[in-house]
Amino acid sequence: MSDAEALKVLETEIRAAIQAAGGVLSFRRFMDLALYAPGLGYYERRSTRIGRAGDFMTSVSTGPLFGELLAAQIAEWSRARCLQDSTVSLVESGAHTGRLAADILEALCRDAPDVFERVIYTLMEPSAIRRDWQRETLESWNGCTRWITGWSELQTGVRGVILTNELLDAFPVTRYIWEASRERWLEAGVQCIDEGFGWARLESATTDRVAELLGHPLPLELLAVLPEGFALDLAAGAAEWWSEAARALTSGRLITFDYGLEASEFLTPKYASGTLRGYLKHRTARDELASPGAADLTAHVNFTTLRQAGVEAGLETEFMGSQRVFLTEVFARRPAMAMGSEAEKASRLRQFHALTHPEHLGRAFRVLVQHRVTPGQ
């Protein structure tokens, strides 16, 4: 099926879902279909999505340095007492084509062979299509890679590192809108209009429920000054995912790189229209509902609820800060990064700049690292 045909079929499926829902479909379900409808959604079709030729850049698509720095950090963690003599289990979710896994394995094999020989790299991937792409990319790493579709397939707890890069910002969000005149929250939905789709109001949600999902109180004094139409885009699935990951971790680290906010920041005027964005060819789409399946849809991650979910599962927070600070510290501990030919050094510098400069990925992207403290660590 061509890309255009797939988009047509997807549109028909979304229209049918709206009809089946009685005329208004929750935005969360709309986003889920637009991104993940099997064989049809944005992340289910082969076209180039990520990188210069696609719709947006990620740290992985800037080049192999991101994976090299992560590998250096993983090697350091793997030589600590709690993992010193055991198999090191690396579990990645949201791997897309598997590029980051390949970069990490290559760097470990070259720079940290003592760790590489103990590594099993597991890609947790629910989509059959994306598993095929990943197997292709990782063909030469057959001996140390494996795949699972979800947490229930893990045979033992993870002793090592569970990692994600821009996984959680791709989780479908529920949009809540503040109706100031009636002092209530309404869930936003999607309806069919003429040739396309439009926003509609679904049902009301209690302030307690919205505050719980936001991970921040919404007292009356605050609600009194929230403007009409203030929007919160909240992905309940992200904290649930983090909680499962934290429970799966027996020993080691859980780490994510993502753009996102603390819960209180979602309530600032800057984000009054929510954080949901559509991306197409490196531009923000003006209407997020305009091209389901053709444009990426993404929203800021709520780091407060992630951290809280980890702590509730018994983890301790080790680092929460900008990607710039995190990667600069790793880079500074690796003198080998400044070696090589002039061309290699120049290329690494270019990538490091893209990863850490505040105007590129350095400020907007944040890093959360939590670990499970094991006795005698």
Given the rule CB under 6 A, which residues bind ligand SAM?
43, 50, 58, 60-61, 93-96, 100, 125-126, 130, 165-167, 170
Q: Which is nearer to ligand SAM, 59 or 89 (CB)?
A: 59
Beta-bridged to residue 146, according to DSSP, are 122
Give the CB-side neighbour count of residue 219, counting CA atoms within 13 A. Answer: 2
For tokens 């791709």, name the residue: 170
Q: Is 127 exposed, middle or buried (0-12, 13-18, 19+ CB in 10 A)?
A: middle
Exposure letters 135-161 (e unless 16+ CB within 10 A, then b): eebbeebeebbebbeeeeeeeeebbbb
Cα–Cα distance for residue pair 109/166, rounded to 1 Å? 25
Q: Is 274 helix (H, G, I), strand (E, B) or coil?
A: coil
Q: Which is nearer to ligand SAM, 213 or 235 (CB)?
A: 235
CB of 164 to ligand SAM, least distance (A): 7
Cα–Cα distance for residue pair 334/65, rounded to 1 Å? 12
Q: Which is nearer to ligand SAM, 95 or 289 (CB)?
A: 95
Q: Which is nearer to ligand SAM, 101 or 218 (CB)?
A: 101
Q: Which residues contact 129 (CB under 8 A, 6 or more apart)?
A: 38, 39, 44, 46
Q: Which residues contact 41 (CB under 8 A, 6 or more apart)?
A: 10, 33, 34, 35, 293
Q: Is 208 helix (H, G, I), strand (E, B) or coil?
A: helix
CB of 171 to ligand SAM, least distance (A): 6
Q: Which is nearer to ligand SAM, 61 or 251 (CB)?
A: 61
DSSP of 27-45: HHHHHHHHHHSTTTSGGGS
Q: Which of 276, 286, 292 is nearest to 176 (CA)?
A: 276
CB of 78 to ligand SAM, least distance (A): 21
Q: Which is nearer to ligand SAM, 126 or 340 (CB)?
A: 126
Cα–Cα distance for residue pair 263/210, rounded to 1 Å? 12
CB of 335 to ligand SAM, least distance (A): 27
Q: Which is nearer to ligand SAM, 43 or 242 (CB)?
A: 43
Q: Which is nearer to ligand SAM, 96 or 118 (CB)?
A: 96
Q: Which is nearer to ligand SAM, 185 or 242 (CB)?
A: 242
CB of 231 to ligand SAM, least distance (A): 22
CB of 272 to ligand SAM, least distance (A): 25
Q: Which is nearer to ligand SAM, 61 or 207 (CB)?
A: 61
CB of 24 to ligand SAM, least distance (A): 24
Could you give the dihedral angle defined by the CA atoms of residues 259, 67, 150 and 146, in that order, rounded to the nearest 10 degrees?
170
CB of 97 to ligand SAM, least distance (A): 8
CB of 108 to ligand SAM, least distance (A): 18
Stated length of the chain: 377
Exposure letters 317-336 (e unless 16+ CB within 10 A, then b): eeebebbbebbbebbeebee
Q: Is 109 exposed, middle or buried (0-12, 13-18, 19+ CB in 10 A)?
A: middle
CB of 123 to ligand SAM, least distance (A): 9
